[in-house]
Amino acid sequence: MLTTLCIEPGQLTLAQIQAIHADVVQLSLPETSRELIRASQQVVQNAADGDAPVYGVNTGFGKLANQRISKAELATLQLNLIRSHSVGVGEPLAPEIMRVMMALKAASLARGYSGVREVVIDTLLAVHNAGLVPYVPSQGSVGASGDLAPLAHMTLALIGEGDMLRDGKRMAAAQALRQAGITPLQLGPKEGLALINGTQTSTALALHALLSFEPVLESALVIGALTIDAARGSDGPFDPRIHQLRGQPGQIDVAQYYRTLLRGSDIRNSHRSGDDRVQDPYCLRCQPQVVGACLDQLRHSARVLVREANAVTDNPLVFAEDGVMLSGGNFHAEPVALAADGMALAVAEVGAIAERRIAMLIDSSVSRLPPFLTADAGLNSGFMIAHVTAASLASENKSLAHPASVDSLPTSANQEDHVSMATFAARRLQAMISNTANILGVELLAAAQGIEFLRPLNSSPALEQAHALLRKQVPAITQDRYLAPDIEHAALLVRNGALTRILRSLPGLPPLWLAE
């Protein structure tokens, strides 16, 4: 049975968002927020009943803001807005993204600055709790004025038009609502605009990427440590005194992760003296500096995204205490775009240094292991071309990491003359995360193969767990064989949290996200 999460407007946490993303909670609204919702809606109703022009209530939208709309046509105005803005293309947004998107929209409206009726928010929550997923094409937003097209498709489903997914099956929204016993929403003044104006799509996409990358990043730490042992690297560069002198929090924490993962390794103890390699290559030695910087960037992005998840980002905003509506630009998703671009750099760098570790392992002059990690090089090619696959994925990520936020294409007849491209900035992260997970899958295979050449010595208890986990699916490579299935198995361990559980079982480690 699912537990119920009461959405406290403005107070959503990353852990709560993760629960919504994982579909383990039903959503409710605190009674304390309803008075604010009613108060702001009354301001909108007063504007609708009055004669003064108020944007979004009795005027057109965007470049058409100077066009007055009669009182008799106010309901049609909102309905036309949703229909005309439902112009998205491409594959639909995944259910986990849509759950977060609907929850963030409900939480934003529930703060009482958008002027909608309670039934608007209650309908959003009812659709979420019924397991219905509005069918929302993933392409068509430039991240200002809000995520108009995707949010319009979401709203279209709420009013009984468009489509929904129920148990993975696509059907007419009216049918899905009827089967769930939910009355289609009828839009009042400003409600269509409040629903489609905002950054909830780009924010949900970026949060989806953050949560998707979490097990991949934790796996990268475990695999990076395994590679250190396979190459008989030193744990000296992870001495806490080095990292305290620099003072970068992510670097300090990553060094601690590596010290803990490597603790108790017989391989490490076997070469503490008499090792003729004075310093390890950067891909081993500088992991705290590189991955730590990535971790700091991801933590910063997480903080930005949680703030945005709690924000009110539609326009105009309603201030019931003063009885006024103010037009602004909170719908501009620049914070999300920059956060997503920063995440892209971090995802790419985690994959890039992993690719360098693979290159190091197959180079016998550096790793001091057999060439290409095969005992009979020449007859066997070993990991020669598996590394090429990793290199191709790392190179793809370099192109995908180009910042989306530096692009802007004016829209709405130059009324909306600077846009954020936040939705694409966040959406492209999934391809990058997949590439990095596959690179790490290749590295896991290579590092485990390197360990085989050092037997009977064992790595640390934690890293032997990781090695054994892989060997349950993939035996050691004694001669060339069909490697693509092995890479697939290894990449699945990276993505599915199996290696994460090993890391998290170790005592005394700092949390990954939002740690200082």
3-state secondary structure 149-214: HHHHHHHHHHCCCCEEEECCEEEEHHHHHHHHCCCCCCCCCCHHHHHHCCCHHHHHHHHHHHHHHH
Asked whether the beta carbons of 57 and 189 are under 8 A apart, the reply is: yes
Cβ proximity of 425 and 405 under 8 Å? yes
Q: How many helices (H) and strands (E) does the chain have?
A: 22, 9
Give the residue carrying structure tokens 């852990």: 15
In degrees and rounded to multiples of 5, residue 103 shows phi and psi of -65, -40
Residue pair 458/464 in contact (Cβ under 8 Å)? The answer is yes
The answer to whether 490 and 441 are in contact (CB under 8 A) is yes
CB 186 within 8 A of CB 135: no
Strand partners, 68: 59
8 Å CB contact between 305 and 172: no
Query: If 0-12 CB within 10 Å is exposed, 13-18 middle and 19+ buried, where does residue 195 land?
Result: buried
Collect all residues with Cβ–Cβ distance below 8 Å to 177 and sequence separation of at least 6. 127, 132, 160, 164, 183, 184
For the record, the structure tokens of 68 come out as 């007055």
CA distance 202 to 149: 12
CA–CA distance, 15 with 345 (Å, rounded to integer): 24
Residue 247, token pair as written in the block:
């003072």
> Which stretch of DSSP H or E encloses residue 137?
strand 137-139
8 A C-beta contact, residue 250 and residue 299: yes
CA 180, CA 277: separation in Å to the nearest integer? 67
Query: Which one of the listed residues 55, 113, 135, 257 is annotated catalytic?
Result: 55
* Alpha-carbon distances, residue 430 vs 104, 119, 345, 420 (angstroms): 20, 34, 13, 19
Q: Is 282 labeled as catalytic in the residue annotation?
A: no
Phi then psi dihedrals of residue 411, to 5 deg? -130, 175
Q: Which residues are catalytic?
A: 55
